[in-house]
Amino acid sequence: IQAKTFNLIRDGTDVFGKARTGTGKTLSFTLPVVEMLLQNPNTTRGRHPRVLVMAPTRELAMQVGKEFKKIGPGLSSTCMYGGTDYGPQRNAIRFGLDAVIGTPGRLLDHLQSGNLKLDKLEHLILDEADRMLEVGFVEAIEQILDMAQEQAGKKPQMILFSATLPDFIKSTLKKYMPDHKVVDTIGQSINRTSTG
């Protein structure tokens, strides 16, 4: 999945990657996106994020956050999820961020309260999008997608990864990513597994 999506993401194309959990999807989007951020660095204090990553669980959000810090140690990123104090998250936003990673519920809280602004957003990523249904985040995701386009004044590049294609994802692709490219590695994974 990394090899098949890298150039598409790097070129700014909207991408829907269909791949199983554990196949390296996180690196598939962090590597090219971090590379693009580092080409045009911004160190202004209080800067608004250029990347927003939504993940269905706290654990996955933390995993993505660690990957961003490892690949782009010079970038400022933070992880936001429920069950923790808002204070440190607000402080990170005030200091200035290149990337925000979090669960849709907590991200929406910060957006609705005016703490988080998406007017500089360039890349919007949904990781494990099909699992968003299981944890009831569909409405929050749609609100965030609408707010992102409204605040940025243009559609950011969208990258969506999922293992399955439920109706929620089909409608998201149709509404927010009409010109996306599909990279499907599920069939290939099955073939490799079945032959050895």
Residue 134: predicted pLDDT: 84
Under 8 Å between Cβ of 80 and 110: yes
Burial of 98-111, coded b for 16+ CB within 10 Å and e otherwise, reads: bbbbbbbbbbbbbb
User: pLDDT digit of tens for each residue in the chain (196 aa)?
Assistant: 899 999 999 999 999 999 887 778 899 999 999 999 999 999 999 999 999 999 999 999 999 999 999 999 999 999 999 999 999 999 999 999 999 999 999 999 999 999 999 999 999 999 999 999 888 899 999 999 999 999 998 899 999 999 999 999 999 999 999 999 999 998 653 333 222 3
Residue 21: predicted pLDDT: 76
Q: Give strand ranges (E) for 59-191.
A: 77-80, 99-102, 123-126, 157-162, 181-184
Residue 188: predicted pLDDT: 53
Residue 69: predicted pLDDT: 95
Kindly write down the DSSP assignment for every residue of 25-79, as one continuous string: HHHHHHHHHHHHHHHS----TTPPPSEEEE-SSHHHHHHHHHHHHHH-TTS-EEE
Nearest to 22 by CA among 196, 194, 185: 185
Angle at CA of residue 183, ends 187 and 125, nearest 5°: 125
Q: What are 139's two structure tokens?
A: 């409405």
Q: Virtual CA dihedral for 140, 145, 151, 156, nearest 10 degrees? A: 150
- CA atoms of 70 and 67, how far apart (whole Å): 5
For residue 15, what is the enclosing H or E element?
strand 15-18
Q: State the DSSP code for 154.
A: S
Q: What are 175's two structure tokens?
A: 């509404």
- CA atoms of 33 and 12, how far apart (whole Å): 9
Under 8 Å between Cβ of 29 and 161: yes
Residue 195: predicted pLDDT: 27
- CA atoms of 97 and 53, how far apart (whole Å): 13
